[in-house]
């Protein structure tokens, strides 16, 4: 079985981190239409997301396969979350794909996001603008 077929048959868990309830509702609805999504967990702050990840750190099978992370959030923005995320064990970070979400096209955000090796790419909100199935299959 090749990598694409293997990814297509695997159940995928998603962690959506965004302080906007409206964006979470829309993005969750978009993601849930995809096949093979086993779980969508929503956290409304970077701090809550870190607490969640630290609570499941011993259960690699529970760790999300994909994180969609809003950049602009109060208390802890997406970049501050990433600074803490980088402190997690390497095997967990390698298991997970991180996509930054932004409603702005600020080139500084894109440049800063590109400095984090765990970030696959930056996406504009909402996720309806993107082919989610292709993102889920990316290596």
d(CA 64, CA 96): 6
CA dihedral 44, 13, 66, 59 (to 10 degrees): 90
Burial of 78 (0-12, 13-18, 19+ CB in 10 A): buried
Report yes or no: 79 and 69 within 8 Å, Cβ to Cβ: no
- Tens-of-pLDDT digits for all 139 residues of the chain? 334 444 445 789 999 999 999 999 999 998 988 888 999 999 999 999 999 999 999 888 889 999 999 999 999 999 999 999 999 999 888 889 999 988 876 667 667 777 888 999 888 887 876 678 777 777 6
3-state secondary structure of 26: helix
| Cα→Cα distances 98→1, 2, 58, 102, Å | 25, 23, 20, 13
Strand order in the sheet with 12-17: 37-43, 12-17, 66-70, 97-102, 119-124
Domain count, the chain: 1
CATH number for position 21? 3.40.50.2300
Residue 42: which domain range?
3-137
């Amino acid at each position: 079985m090749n990598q694409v077929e293997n990814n297509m048959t695997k159940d995928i868990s998603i962690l959506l981190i965004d302080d906007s309830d409206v964006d979470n509702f829309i993005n969750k609805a978009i993601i849930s239409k995809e096949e093979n999504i086993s779980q969508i967990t929503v956290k409304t702050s970077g701090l809550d997301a870190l607490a969640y990840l630290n609570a499941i750190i011993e259960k690699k099978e529970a760790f999300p396969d994909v994180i969609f992370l809003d950049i602009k959030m109060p208390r802890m923005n997406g970049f501050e979350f990433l600074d803490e995320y980088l402190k997690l064990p390497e095997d967990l970070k390698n298991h997970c794909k991180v996509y930054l979400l932004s409603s702005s096209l600020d080139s500084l955000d894109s440049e800063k996001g590109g400095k984090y090796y765990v970030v696959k790419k930056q996406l504009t909100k909402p996720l309806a603008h993107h082919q989610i199935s292709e993102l889920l299959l990316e290596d």
